[in-house]
Amino acid sequence: MKKFFFILFFLTFNSFTYLNALDVKEVNYYKNKKAWLVNDGSLPIVAIKFAFKAGSSIDVEGKKGTANLAALLLDEGAGDYSAKEFKKILADNSITLTFTVSYDNFYIDLYTLKENLDLSFQLLDLALTKPSFKFDEINRIKSNIKLVLEQSYKDPDEIGSRLFREILFKGHPYQYDVLGLPEDIDQIDKEDLKNFLQNNLRTDNLYIAASGDISEVELKKYLRKYLTKFDKKNMKEFNVPLHTKEIQHKIFFHQKDLRQSKIFFAGEGVSRKDPYFYPAYVMNYILGGGGFFSRLTTEIREKRGLVYSIYSYLYRYDKYNFFSGGAETSNKNVDTVIKIIKKELIKIKKKGVTEEELKNAKNYLINSYVLRLDSNKKVASILLNTQMDGLNIDFFKKRNDYINSVSLNDIKKIANRILDENKIFFLIVGSPTNLKNINKI
Amino acid sequence: MRFLFILILFFFIEVVEANFFKPQHYTLDNGLEIIVLENNRIPAVAHSIWYKVGSADEPKGKSGIAHFLEHLMFKGTDKLKPGEFSQIVSRNGGKENAFTSKNYTGYFQLIHKSKLELVMSLEADRMKNIKLIEDEFENEKTVVLEERYSRIDSNPSALLSEQINAALYMNHPYRKPIIGWEHEIKNLNLDDVLKFYKKYYAPNNAIIVICGDITLNEVIKLAQKHFGRIKPSKIEKRIWTSEPTQHAARKVTLKSKDTAIPVLKKHYLVPTYEKSKKESLALEVFSEIFGDPSTGMLYEEFVKNKKLATSASAYYYPDGFGDTSFTISIIPKKNVSLEEIESHLNEYLKQIKELVFNKEEIEKIKKRLINNTIFAQDSLYMGMRIFGSSLTAGYSLKEITDWPENINMISTNDLQTFVPNIFNSNKSVTGYLLPIME
């Protein structure tokens, strides 16, 4: 019986390891540029993701919102096609082609049937090289964006994120909404948009990942034909500065007449290259990352019924890393919830986690990884993010070992570094009762 | 020009494939239905169990009970402590969740295929053996109330939808919110929930849907072993109160200080697939051509031509029993009032009633819809979700797999026949969401 179990365990373990070793190919499409590919023909579908290192953080003073506006206008007419025609060709051929911007990146997502891959690339090419930027469309999209920005002064969630950014990122481009500033948006003209594309969409800052029914040869052919034209020489480098905010303990409070208060908290984070990255990752899973039984969920939801959801997360931006979390609770509970969050942070800092917790966390983080790979879209995302994290394709073989090697002591060390109650701030939006020592904003 | 050529070429050589998932089906002696959708992409399964009970089945005065029970299903059984279900799933590398709708309550786990037996045994256990204590019950009640405050009461748009539904359905149980009315959630007691659980949680009122790297035979063996011994219950046929003839247009207005963006919603009472099959398929085709948020007629008219709105779309939800809603949503441009939008919408809908549909356009729209079924197979979760939610809300298995063919059969004539029926103002509710300036 014992032997049987051993074999079973062994087999299972092996299959998990095998799975994590995704069959990723590097496709060298141009000079030293490589795209990552998983070729899977089980469905006639292809997902390709592109990212240029050019997000809203490079928007210049007085023109905040340029990157986002450019992205939103790329499917509003290109080449000889009007906005209406362009969108209709996409829709009638079931092609999803979207352009989005984050603080750090300009993303293109392409999701199509294999039979429409040619057409998809032709449309992508038109959008990137011959966008119409018609006056009418520019004005229409501008007023849409301004309306959404107005909402950030009324909607409680939006108010929260705006204030959070202003506290955490003050003095850095990250303090602005990706959408920009309303007064700046009016100043952006067609030339600015053209310049944005001209200066920033270039192969030296481009990352590509593909998954689905497409071979190395096919991918290479398309990339050579449509992407090498973005090889541009001697372009001006944008240097977004590192953000070096030292967080001090404070409770910031914004009064708003609400049924529930919104609680945000944040502290120092960990970079991807930090030797303690994996210990931090596992620690966060135990504290506030995982499911129904993270420590925060157990103490605040399961034992006391004070919230519906509470979470914590390690955020990584190119120029700043931080640890952050949040919850919503009835106004009368705010004080209690903050106290418990603090208590739990201090507890991990002082005592670390238990052996049992560490074992369970590793089991989950290792064995659930394969579940992220069930669709072409998800595989393409993982390939893109891994690549942009500066990792190699052997990462998929090594990931289990990285997680397995985390020790109780490692977790104690990283907790001691980042879960310092003197370096965590809270932000409350709502009408809490009994809250003391607060800084009104 | 080259595009056009490619387009035409595909248009003519494409034959509609009715190749939609290829589900396999089996029913245990105790009535438990099993659906398996094989997908070998990763060595994992999306395992789910769907009970044919939702908020529409709740007794009078007990709204929220179906959803509350969903929460309590994680609170322990004779064998498991509260929360242990989730811990076991997670320790074994699985992800899980649950969902309650008007028509069903579903539970799922996404997990390595070698752990399928484990999760099936856990689901079999909690089908009959949940154990609840008063303390846990009261604690979870506050969690559910906090959930309601987060999702509905703090969200003006959700609050408006709740008011609209209560007006749109005058007699059908769909008028109640799934999460329940606050005062009724507060008054629920342990006995109510246990009665509901005993009445509806039984093998002959459930469907197991598994999408993943597993065969029907393997699943049948495991299901026999773990669910086979559970006795069926006496399940009454679902008979819900239905809508009377509606004689008057209704209007609800919600003013909120928590939004800057006004919204116009217009809901029309229309039949579900279960009530009027061909009509429902025609409405699905129509809602795509009329309501798609970036290419639809409504978008063209309000956003592009008349320049009155920043967005305009429409949506038809065919699932369920009896009647459902055809919903229009429009966000006006700054300085355009909701009254202006509404009056233009009424004029425009008169034209739509007279509209002659273009055959070539309709063919393209049908192809879009049918292509969606290929993309739906690109994840384990989607297949599981589509089959579970459709089988518990008016569709037979054959009707799901035949859906692409049935959509393809819809003609311009069908649209001509059914579309004018949608926009009957006596069967409508207009909803205004208006910002209050502080």
**Helix segments in A228-354, DSSP class H:** 277-284, 295-297, 334-351
> How far apart, in whole angstroms, are the C-alpha atoms of residue B95 and residue B256?
37
Main-chain dihedrals φ then ψ at residue B224, nearest 5 degrees: -55, -50
> How far apart, in whole angstroms, are the C-alpha atoms of residue A294 and residue B224?
35
Chain A to chain B Cβ contacts (< 8 Å): 189
Q: What is the pLDDT of residues A196-207, one digit of tens each?
A: 999 999 999 999
Outline which parts of chain B fall under CATH 3.30.830.10. 24-227, 250-435
What's the pLDDT score for residue A421? 87
Q: What is the pLDDT of residues B151-197, one digit of tens each?
A: 999 999 999 999 999 999 999 999 999 999 999 999 999 999 999 99
Helix, coil or strand: residue A112: strand
How deeply is B205 buried, as exposed, middle or buried, from its count of CB atoms within 10 A (0-12, 13-18, 19+)? Answer: buried
**Residue ranges covered by each domain of chain A:** 25-230, 250-440
Quote the percentage of chain A above a pLDDT of 90: 88
* A164-186 mean pLDDT: 96
| Interchain CB distance below 8 Å, A87 and B294 | yes
Helix, coil or strand: residue B128: helix
Q: B357 to chain A nearest CA, in Å?
A: 17
Select from 3.40.50.1110, 3.40.50.920, 1.20.58.1030, 3.30.830.10 the CATH code of B250-435: 3.30.830.10
Q: Between A235 and B12, whose confidence is greater?
A: A235
Q: Taking each helix axis from N to C terminus, what angle separates B359-375 and B2-13, rounded to the nearest 10 degrees?
A: 80
- Please report which helix (H) or strand (E) contains residue A189, including its range: none
* Out of A43, A293, A370, closest to residue B87 by CB: A293
Q: For A386-389, which contacts have Cβ atoms below 8 Å and span 24 or more sequence positions? A: A386/A36, A387/A36, A387/A207, A387/A209, A388/A51, A388/A105, A388/A207, A389/A272
Identify the residue whose tokens are 């991918």.
A219
What's the pLDDT score for residue A425? 96
A122 to chain B: closest CA residue? B3
Quick one: CA dihedral B374, B377, B382, B383, positive or negative? positive
> How far apart, in whole angstroms, are the C-alpha atoms of residue A414 and residue A92?
52
| Interchain CB distance below 8 Å, B6 and A83 | no
Select from 3.30.70.100, 2.30.30.30, 3.20.10.10, 3.30.830.10 the CATH code of B24-227: 3.30.830.10
pTM for this prediction? 0.93
Span A25-230 CATH architecture: 2-Layer Sandwich (3.30)
Q: Does residue A17 have a pLDDT over 50?
A: no
| Interchain CB distance below 8 Å, A305 and B259 | no
Q: Which of A13, A299, A308, A377 to mutate to test the interface with B (most CBs of B within 10 A)?
A: A308
Confirm or reject CATH 3.30.830.10 for domain A250-440, answering yes or no.
yes
Quote the percentage of chain A above a pLDDT of 70: 95
Chain A residues in contact with B41 by the CB 8 A cut-off are: 40, 42, 373-374
Q: A319 to chain B nearest CA, in Å?
A: 32
Residue from A406, A390, A386 nearest A22 by CA: A386
Chain B residues in contact with A88 by the CB 8 A cut-off are: 295
Q: What is the pLDDT of residues B41-50, one digit of tens each?
A: 899 999 999 9
> How far apart, in whole angstroms, are the C-alpha atoms of residue A390 and residue A273?
9
Q: Where are the beta strands (DSSP E) in A145-219?
A: 206-212
* A265-283 mean pLDDT: 96
Asked if B65 and B182 count as a contact pair (C-beta separation under 8 A), the reply is: no
Q: Does residue A3 have a pLDDT over 90?
A: no
* Bridge pairing between strands B24-27 and B44-51: unpaired
* A372-383 mean pLDDT: 95
pLDDT band at A358 (very low <50, low <70, confident <90, very high): very high
Helix, coil or strand: residue B106: strand
CA distances from A75 to A79, A281, B23 (A): 11, 38, 38
Q: Could you report the predicted ipTM of this complex, rounded to two decimals?
A: 0.92
Q: Does residue B15 have a pLDDT over 70?
A: no
Which of A35-49, A234-248, B62-76 is least confident? A234-248
